Amino acid sequence: MPIARVALPVAAPTTFDYWIPEGLAVERGAIVRVRLGTRRLAGVVIATASDSEVDRAKLSPVVDVVGDERVPFDVLDLCAFVASYYQEAIGLAHALALPPLRAQAASRALRGSCRLTDEGRRALAALPARARSACGLRDRMLQDTALDVDTLTTHEKTILREWRRHRYVVPAGERAARPALELNAAQSEAAAAIAQSLGAYAAFMVNGVTGSGKTEVYLAAADAAIAAGGQVLMLVPEINLTPQLVDRMRAARPGLRVALMHSALAAGERRDAWRAAASGEAQLVLGTRLAVFAPLPSLALVVVDEEHDASYKQQDNVRYHARDAAIWRARRRDVPVVLGSATPSLETWLGARDGRYRRLDLPHRADARAQLPGVRLTPHRAAAAQDGIGDALRAGIAGCLARGEQSLVFVNRRGFATSLVCAACKWESQCTRCSARLTVHRQPPALRCHHCGHEERLPRACPSCGNVDLVPLGLGTQRLERALAAAFPRARIARVDRDSTRGRHAFASVRDKVEANAIDILVGTQMLAKGHDFPRLTLVGILGSDNALYSADFRATERLAALLVQVAGRAGRAGSPGEVIVQTDFPDHPVYTALLSHDYAQLADTLLAEREAAALPPVTHAALLSAEAHRREDVDAFMHAAHEIGIELRTLHAEVEVFSPVAALLARRAGYERSQLVVQSARRGALQRFLPAWRERMEALPGRRTRWAIDVDPAGFG
DNA sequence: AGCACGCCGACT
DNA sequence: GTCGGCGTGCTC
């Protein structure tokens, strides 16, 4: 009896067999609907066979085949690799490759940018001011000559669709192509090296300083791949970055067929993108980490932009690393892969040092007029009394304002203050469900936990002793914004953090304002760090970054270095020289001296030597077992057992080290007590042989009160 | 992951 | 007496 082996989206360790009814064409890669228990599920056929190990009586039939899409074989292989490498359920790993199955009529997708017609302009201007739902969009349409549809919320797209029916808006058409950017020597050399290697596996590390024009290198390499009839897969860390990147791509390459893939797309749009990729119609597939599973029949080149970025590692469900999956896939398909960054991860750095990756350097900014910014380190402690704004930074901002230039002040913490303490007794705002302090917020006023979302009223007096002298400790974006407003009352200030800027629309509107020169000072967190060109921005202030140096996580310094370089890179990108002022009390720390001398390479070598000395990743290979339960004793009991099993298995796996369980950095979160345990080996293969045996023994442990997971190649030991 | 089955405590 | 709490184990 013909059998289909189906990977179903359940946390079971195996696939499930179903018999194939006569007349139903079921082949490897087909998406089928089946019954599992009482449920009906869609899964992907990973193999067909002439019979099954399972009792015939237990087998049920394949219900039907969904559509005509097939998951390509290399993607099936990638999913199998991901399941095995990351110790995940085979079916959950394969679920990553399924197209969105909601068969809703593919909405006539709006693409690119739209502009108002004259009639539309009249109609919208005449719209009553209280037509609130459309108001923001209307204002933006009336202001802008063209609006990028990708930056809109789904609600706004609905409105826009309506307007298009009335012929109020029409597609803006392809923007006039930017004058073809002359590649400099380093750029054309890098692009040529990649282009020459098309047709076979090769891995490149493109190490280019901020503003060195890595995108142009990717584009030139992509041109070569596409000209030969190939498809290019380009991964980016965040959806925030895609609209701008797409704009640039479309402007530079009119007519380029791009498909976007990220989780913020509606099911219909995602399905369209999936089909465009699968049919070969899309020449460039641009997306976040999940795009690494896209069907690409003519894949010719893979690019991972900002490859150091932590968001490539999925932190829940299937804990895969999209960069590593991309490398695996490139090897499997025998095509080149490009890993680009201004601050390469130490994994990639080591790969380049060992000769596994070919190193391509872009040591200068592409625009010859744009110098790398000058960096100054000034003491932070001295600034504490002035809400964090030291004299140098104050003078710098004043200078910028006088010249009509923009400044950015960065602090990596939202809210007003880190915590609230009582000046009289020892009381401190503490989360009841986490081992963390509650952050002070003023807009709106509240004490909030950034780990579990718990919220309390902002107390007027100490809940413990009644004293009214409560002191907000530490610096957040809201406090900084207030201090800047007090210091520069006439400056136009915008705050950008997760609280102020929800959704893509909000971010795009700040970006537009900055571009329209309606903002003098930007205050914000991480959100501001990445990949946005602000030509008038000449000063960057970085506050509170020393906090990262206290972190117990071994990757903290590497992450800080990347963040500093990214933020500093916002300064002075177009002609005007930039300045970066970093307030630190550790000016001799290698991470700051590297920033001063613009020498990330030196820092990466130093950090790598430290990892070598301490036998830490990427020199060794690690997995992290993390567990949580409501009761401390349950976690401890589980971890104790897990540790014992690990030690016992070492008789068979001598090359693997099993460390003792320790409380997690955040020992309690949302009412769960948390612990973790590290296992590692100098050899990846040894760790890979150990992990399944260990996992199976742990799965057999009684007591399900503890939730646990294995994280292979964890982003940190936190 | 769901979902059912099963074996123990407080309710109309 | 049974309603339902969640701990345990199975699903082709």
Measured distance CA(A604)–CA(A594) in Å, rounded:
9
Nucleotide closest to residue A52 (CA–C1'): C12
pLDDT of residue A456: 94
pLDDT digits (tens, 9 = 90+) for A222-279: 999 999 999 999 999 987 777 778 888 888 899 999 999 998 889 999 999 999 999 9
The predicted model gives A104-112 an average pLDDT of 41
Q: What is the pLDDT of residue A385?
A: 76
**SS3 state at A276:** helix
Task: Tell if A93 CB is < 7 Å from nucleic strand B.
Answer: no
pLDDT-based confidence at residue A100 (cuts at 50, 70, 90): confident
Whole-number Å distance between alpha carbons of A511 and A533: 9
- In angstroms, the CA A243 to CA A112 distance is 9
pLDDT single digits (tens) A644-693: 999 999 999 999 999 999 999 999 998 889 999 999 999 999 999 999 99
Confidence of residue A553 (pLDDT cuts 50, 70, 90): very high
Percent of chain A predicted with pLDDT > 70? 88
Q: Which residues contact A278 (CB under 8 A, 6 or more apart)?
A: A69, A70, A72, A295, A297
Asked whether residue A704's C-beta has any atom of DNA/RNA strand B within 7 A, the reply is: no
What is the rounded CA–CA span in Å between residue A335 and residue A301? 6
What pLDDT does residue A211 have? 87
Closest nucleotide to A17 by C1' from CA: C12
Which residue gives the smallest C-alpha to C1' distance to B1? A10
Strand B nucleotides within 7 Å of a protein CB: 1-4
Nearest to A566 by CA among A151, A326, A214: A214
Distances (CA, A) of A685 to A324, A348, A688: 16, 19, 5
Whole-number pLDDT of residue A287 = 95
Q: Report the share of chain A in percent with pLDDT over 90.
A: 72
When pLDDT is averaged across residues A332-337 and rounded to a whole number, the result is 98
Q: Please give the Cα distance from A9 to A57 (Å, whole number).
A: 23
Q: Which nucleotide is nearest to A702 (CA to C1')?
A: C8
Q: Burial code of A672-702, b = ≥16 C-beta within 10 A, e = fewer?
A: bbbbbbbbbbeeeebbbbbbeebbebbeeee
A631 CA to B12 C1' distance (Å): 34
Strand B contact with A146 (CB < 7 A): no
Which protein residues have any CB–strand C distance under 7 A? Answer: A 10, 12, 14, 16-18, 34-37, 52, 54, 58-60, 702-705
What is the per-residue pLDDT for A605? 97
pLDDT of residue A168: 65
Is the Cβ atom of A38 within 7 Å of strand B at any atom?
Answer: yes
Q: For residue A526, what are its two tokens?
A: 């991480």
Closest nucleotide to A89: CA versus each C1': B1
Which structure tokens are listed for A594? Answer: 């590297």
pLDDT of residue A130: 43
pTM of the model: 0.89
* E strand or H helix at A446: strand A445-448
Confidence at A139, pLDDT banded by 50, 70, 90: low
The residue that leads in pLDDT, A713 or A369, is A713
Across all strands, nucleotide nearest A18 (CA–C1'): C12
Nucleotide nearest to A38 (CA to C1'): B3
Mean pLDDT, chain A, integer: 89
Q: Is pLDDT above 60 for A213?
A: yes
What distance in Å separates the CA atoms of residue A547 and residue A551, rounded to the nearest whole number?
Answer: 7
Nucleotides of C under 7 A from a protein CB: 7-12
Establish whether the CB of A123 is closer than 7 Å to any nucleic acid atom in strand B: no
For the segment A466-472, the average pLDDT, to the nearest whole number, is 94
Query: How far, in Å, is the CA of A92 from the C1' of nucleotide B2?
Result: 14
**Is the pLDDT at A407 greater than 80, yes or no?**
yes
Measure A704 CA to C8 C1' (Å). 9
Give the CA A448 to C1' B9 distance in Å: 38
CA A35 to C1' C4 (Å) is 28
